[in-house]
Amino acid sequence: MPPDRVTVAIPTYNESENLPDISTAVTAHGYQLLVVDDSSPDGTGELADRLATKDPLISVLHRPKKEGLGPAYAAGFDKALADGAEVVIEMDADFSHDPADLPRLVQAIDEGADLAIGSRYVPGGSTPDWPLTRRLISKGGNLYARIMLGIPTRDATAGFRAYRADALQTLPYREAQASGYAFQVEMAMRAHETGLRVVEVPISFRDRTRGTSKMGTGIVMEAMRLVTVWGWQRAVRGVGSWRR
């Protein structure tokens, strides 16, 4: 895969402390970087514009207000696909996802995957900074999603993932019901429903050291509610599992 046909979409909201370094780390691979900024009050959008003037691999999509992760990624997907990307990668701005792992996700696409998920919960994956309680809650949520939705993905909530462009175009990401991190679960579910080939690539997920986490109780509750609703809808249809 030619590096310049890979676009890494990073949604930002108040990530000015992390943006210069994450931009350098992504573009060092020769990949395109698309910053999707939701009018950050800390000046992240303006900083992204300045970085883009110095590096042709960086582009910026400004959104008028903060609407959540799902709408930000949907807008980013549209722009990346319109610009001719062959692989579109989701990634956080805070270095919880290691930029050194980006080529491994691209390699998985090169080897035939339609969706490659950077997974904490397959052999070789880890969450070294997490206390046991947080690890159990996260694993429990993913287990609940697997059972309710009938999908094999062990880390459906993961936000580090690569899509083959033509596969991404088959997914209803613009009509996603989830606005928070449940967007990741929804896209994993739809990928299995559509019959896409989904693989999980082990990664180490680290906690951010700069800036403030966007995870909150409302985001967690949205995920639990939607997974429950989707699970009941699946039960009503009498579907044993999505196609794989």
Q: Taking the chain (244 residues) in consecutive chunks of 10 residues, what is each chunk's mean pLDDT? A: 94 95 98 96 97 98 91 96 97 95 98 98 94 90 92 95 98 91 93 96 87 62 86 77 44
The pair of structure tokens assigned to 165 is 């462009």
Q: Is residue 244 part of a domain?
A: no
227, 182 Cβ separation under 8 angstroms: yes
Q: Which residues contact 124 (CB under 8 A, 6 or more apart)?
A: 202
Is 243 inside a domain boundary?
no
Establish if 177 belongs to a structural domain: yes
CB 8, CB 26: distance < 8 Å: yes
Q: Is residue 242 part of a domain?
A: no
- Which CA distances in Å does 180 have to 101, 107, 234? 24, 28, 21
Burial of 131 (0-12, 13-18, 19+ CB in 10 A): exposed
Q: The domain that contains 42 carries what CATH number? A: 3.90.550.10
Task: Give me the pLDDT at residue 205, please.
Answer: 95
Tell me how far apart the alpha carbons of residues 194 and 37 are, in angstroms, rounded to a whole number: 30
Question: Does some domain include residue 211?
Answer: yes
pTM over 0.75, yes/no: yes
Contact indicator for 201, 117 with CB cutoff of 8 Å = yes
Structural domain count, the chain: 1
Instruction: Name the residue range of residue 165's domain.
Output: 3-237
